[in-house]
Amino acid sequence: MTLTATTSAADGTHQAGSVQFAVGTTNIGSPVAVNASGVATTTTSFSASGQMALIALFTLTSTSYQFSQVTYTETVYPAGTTAAGSEPLTIAIPQEGAFTLTVAPGTVNLTVSGANATGVLQNVTVTDTRNYYPGWSVSGQESNFAGSGTAAGYTISGNQLGWTPTVVGSLQGSASLGGTVAPVSPGLGTTPATLASVPQGCGFGTNVLSANLTLAIPSTAAAGPYIGTMTITAVVTGPSGEICVPITVNF
């Protein structure tokens, strides 16, 4: 008997991977790599006739897609007999998985050098294991910096802060970084800026994001310590959330 498995992703592409054929709990040979059309084929024989529970387990090379498994029953006839007919196979895979956003704890301390202060945003980890791929976007917005001590009563606009998004390692699931936002024009105070995003139909995997921060210190700012808050927001289909990151600067 020749067994054939034809695979395709929800977006219509044929992804690299291999199919493990099995009957019941017994594997039929080794995994068979799919070809460019997503097809894997193997040939086997059975020692007796009757109904056989056949399994095709497709494991992908890419981490941007989930594996799938189909189980069906095939009737095996003795050699020399003829059987005709067709057997439709259907499978309904439920929506599963979750989206999480976490920011490493701690405070970003900006270091002053001349008219600017710089620092690095704590790692922002985005994990998406949802198998319906709705996409997501993570953004940041800075509050005004409030002075204390010798700078009590003074503020610095959140628009004085800019960033350049970065990734730790490599981007996963077709994620892309947001663009650089320069301090002052426009800055991160008035309008949230994208740290990273994923279009609908993508996003599976984990991305560890960060950003290089630059604060343009106004020439009229009073000397002393200031603290502001960066709000990191995830916009997703389903539960979304916000996490606040304190940012301090002393000059």
pLDDT in tens, 207-218: 999 999 999 999
pTM of the model: 0.63
Averaged pLDDT, 5-14: 83
CA–CA gap between residue 166 and residue 209 (Å, rounded) = 6
Q: For residue 89, is pLDDT > 70?
A: no
pLDDT digits (tens, 9 = 90+) for 42-68: 998 887 777 788 888 888 887 777 666
Mean pLDDT: which of 72-81, 135-144, 158-167, 238-247 is highest?
Answer: 158-167
131: left (phi over 0), alpha (psi -120 to 50) or beta: alpha
Q: Whose CA is closest to 246, among 148, 122, 69?
A: 122
Beta strands in the chain (DSSP E): 2-6, 17-23, 26-27, 32-33, 39-43, 50-60, 68-76, 99-103, 108-113, 116-120, 124-128, 136-142, 145-147, 155-156, 161-167, 176-177, 193-198, 205-216, 225-236, 241-250
CA–CA gap between residue 18 and residue 178 (Å, rounded) = 35
Domains of the chain: 2-76 (2.60.40), 99-250 (2.60.40)
Q: What pairing do the DSSP bridges indicate for beta strands 193-198 and 205-216?
A: unpaired
Q: Whose CA is closest to 26, among 58, 53, 59, 50?
A: 53
Banded model confidence at residue 93, pLDDT cuts 50, 70, 90: confident
